[in-house]
Amino acid sequence: MSDQMIVSTRKGLFTAKRNGKGWALTDDVAFLGDNVTVTLHDKRSGYTYAALDHGHFGVKLHRNKGQGWEEIAAPAYPEKPEDVVSTDGWGKELPWATALIWALEPGGADQPGLLWCGTIPGGLFKSEDHGETWELNRPLWDHPSRKRWFGGGRDLPGIHSICVDPRDSNMVRLGVSCGGVWQTNDGGKSWDCRAMGMRAEFMPPEQAGDQEIQDPHFLVQCKSDPDRLWVQHHNGIFQSRDGSASWSEVTDVNPSSFGFGVAVHPDEPDTAWFVPGIKDELRIPKDGELVVTRTRDGGKTFDILRKGLPQSHAYDVVLRHALAIDETGDQLAFGSTTGSLYVTEDQGDSWQEMSHSLPPVYAVRFM
């Protein structure tokens, strides 16, 4: 069971630890004052990575193996040929420059040193040397459909979810806002869109089923049953039982099926958690009551979990990387845009508040 987590916020990277009395934030704070967008703790190597967005000064990547943080190369796009017109799906200019590091995941157990990195404006990068150097995945970047992607919540499109299949490290699935779910079976040499069954209300009705413009907010995969995947989508909750070949919508979810994050139990593919907001145009908890929803039967029914969570005047929004689950599936934690941080040790039946005054939380990771 994990006893440490790292919390990325608008103003620094915080650490919480579990002791005899439960979980508590520690004095270990890195990058205080700086915008930490996402982190990765790579158990294979012991390295922890932190992506920073310095605003004026651009996106940076830092690495730590217990002896302090060092800046390493951030994924960088190649020089754009002058004759290439680079636009997004709306026809807006799309710069060949990293605007945000939005996903960092390790490769498979048989790929030591290999990391995947998803960025805005839509490039996927791979490192084979623990982040020393990065290379843009050209087959996806040059895919004609990639140029159809457009921003969802951000000005430009981006890759926010990366799932490396536990059965085969060359099988990698991506969640793209807005661009659907993409899959490679050959380590990134070729890619296919795999969002059949998803539904985009933000498009004209005849285009609602267009796979390549779907907005999956977050994609997760069950470790022990990798054909089972869950997506918190802009327009609801979707699940796949066939390795993302097709998706079915989960309906009748109270209080809402809108949200950003989703967590799936590592050993129980029918068990998943969400933190709902009212709807896309009203991104706050229903009735000011912060709740977590949990299904244990593959989306047929949901528990509404509220013990330990504020039940009046709560306006927390939990972003896509800010809901985390540990390796046992018993502990979950989430942070919110209003600076709250909660943890559960009983799969969400009860929650402990660690803070209500952090900077806006962007990502939570168990170590």
Partner 1 sequence: MAKVTFTANLMRHVDCPSVDAPGATVRDVLKAVFLENPRLKSYVVDEQFSLRRHMGIIVDGEIVLDRKALSDPVESHSEVFVLQALSGG
Under the rule (CB under 8 A), what is the footprint of partner 1? 54-58, 60, 71, 74, 76-80, 95-98
Phi and psi at 207, nearest 5°, equal -110, 5
In whole angstroms, how close is the CB of 97 to partner 1 at the nearest point? 4
d(CA 88, CA 146): 8
Torsion angle, CA of 238/191/152/262, rounded to 10 degrees? 40
Residue number, 21 or 56, with CB nearest to partner 1? 56
228 bridge partner residues: none
Shortest distance (Å) from residue 38 CB to partner 1: 18
Shortest distance (Å) from residue 56 CB to partner 1: 4
Residue 298: other Cβ atoms inside 10 A: 17
Residues 16, 26: Cα–Cα separation, whole Å: 5
Nearer Cβ to partner 1, position 258 or 362? 362
What is the C-alpha to C-alpha distance for residues 74 and 363, in angstroms, rounded to an integer?
A: 19
Cα–Cα distance list, 274 to 13, 174, 271, 280, 347 (Å):
24, 19, 11, 15, 12
> Judged by CB, which is closer to partner 1: 46, or 95?
95
- In the complex, minimum distance from the CB of residue 367 to partner 1, in angstroms, rounded to a whole number: 26
Of 97 and 203, which has the nearer Cβ to partner 1? Answer: 97
d(CA 9, CA 346): 25
Minimum CB separation of residue 171 from partner 1 in Å reads 30
**Which among 218, 219, 212 is positioned nearest to 88, based on CA atoms?**
212
| 142 vs 287, beta carbon nearer partner 1 | 142
CA distance 280 to 6: 28
CB nearer to partner 1: give 96 or 202. Answer: 96
Measured between alpha carbons, how far is 232 from 161 in angstroms, rounded to an integer? 11
- The helix/strand/coil state of 330 is coil
**Nearest approach, Cβ of residue 193 and partner 1 (Å):** 27
CB of 80 to partner 1, least distance (A): 6
User: Using CA atoms, how far apart are residues 82 and 325, in angstroms rounded to an integer?
Assistant: 45
Backbone angles phi, psi at 179, to 5 degrees: -170, 5
Report the C-alpha gap between 170 and 161 in whole angstroms: 16
Report, in Å, the least distance between residue 140 CB and partner 1: 18
DSSP 207: G
